[in-house]
Structures are given as C-alpha cells and as structure tokens.
Amino acid sequence: MNLESIQTLLRYNDWANGHLLQTAGPLAAELLDRAFEMGRGTLRKTLLHIAVAEHVWVQRWKAKIEVPWPNEDEPVGVAAIRERLGATQKDRNGFLGTLTDPDLSRIVAYRDSFGSLYTAALGDMLLQLCTHSAHHRAQAVNMLRNVGAGVVELDYMYWVRKPARE
C-alpha cells in the first residue's frame, strides 16, 4: 500500500460519508433516534460515531495523547455531524500533506480511550479510518432502509465507475 492508494480510499470515504449524510439529512428526529439492534443503537448515534472515530484516529496518527472517548449521546443534528467530519477532513488532509511513502512504515505509539498503550505502523492506522467507517456506514444504510429513507448505494464501484461508450 502506498500513500496515493490510501489517499484515494480516504477520498472515497469522504464521498461515501457525504452521500450517507445527504440521505439522512431530511429525516425527522424520531427516525434518527429509532432504536436498532445494530451499530450504536440508533442512526444518529451511528452517524456521530463515524465522525467521532474519524477524529480520534487522526489524533492517534499524530501520536496525541488520547482523552476519554468523546460523548456519542449528544443529540446533534446531521448538519453538525457533517461539519465535524469536514473539520476532521481538513485536519486529516493537512497531516497527510506532510507524509511520504516511507512514513507509512513508521511505528506510532498511542493510548486508547482506556489508557492502554499500543503501537502500529502509520499506514495500518491510516487504513483503519477507512475500514472502520465502512463497517458503520453499512449499518447506517440498513437503518436508513428500515426507516423508509430509500436506498443509498455506497459501494466503492459506484464511486469509481464511469459510463462506457457503446
């Protein structure tokens, strides 16, 4: 894996998060807060978890000391979640702009929200952001279907494919 590939996956991640939030945006509070036995228990909490986790992983890339996991119970709206993801994206892109391919093998130490110390290659930590979000987006898509919000296609191929000429 190289930095260019990781940046491509992160751009896809941004696109998929944007489409997910666009679909969830018009939903009434009672649909955002409907209980589900998946994800973080509600669509709102699952969307907020995606934003919170992306922020936390960017801090971990920078080897910043972890504070307790941010509150995921606050009743924020979809627009506020979108703003948080935008701020994290800006921070993330600034950090990525300082990296080169050899940096991907650098070992980074970080503490999780329980205070446990871990180490990992920076490249693996960068990929974690994409894979973690994809997992929770799949849960959110199922929640959206269950509340009648329609189908949102977030598969990577929907992002990369182009119409073919016949």
CA-closest candidate to residue 87, choices 136, 14, 25: 14
Long-range contacts of 24-30 (CB under 8 A, 24+ apart): 24/78, 24/140, 24/144, 24/149, 25/78, 25/79, 25/82, 27/78, 27/147, 27/149, 29/75
Compute CA distances 68 → 37, 61, 85, whole Å: 25, 17, 19
Q: Which pTM value belongs to this model?
A: 0.92
In a domain, 154, yes or no: yes
Counting the structural domains of the chain, the total is 1
pLDDT score at 68 = 79
Q: Give the length of the chain.
A: 166
In a domain, 166, yes or no: no
Radius of gyration of the chain (CA): 17
Give pLDDT tens digits along the chain (166 positions): 899 999 999 999 999 999 999 999 999 999 999 999 988 999 999 999 999 999 999 999 998 877 778 888 888 999 999 999 999 999 999 999 999 999 999 999 998 888 889 999 999 999 998 899 999 999 999 999 999 998 788 888 888 888 788 7
Q: What angle do CA 12, 13, 17 make, to 5 degrees?
A: 115
Residue range of the domain that includes 98? 3-160
**Both tokens of residue 93?**
């892109």
Confirm if 156 and 12 have CB atoms less than 8 A apart.
yes
In a domain, 127, yes or no: yes
pLDDT score at 39 = 87
Report the distance separating Cα 33 and Cα 166, nearest Å.
Answer: 46
Domain CATH code at residue 128: 1.20.120.450
In a domain, 165, yes or no: no
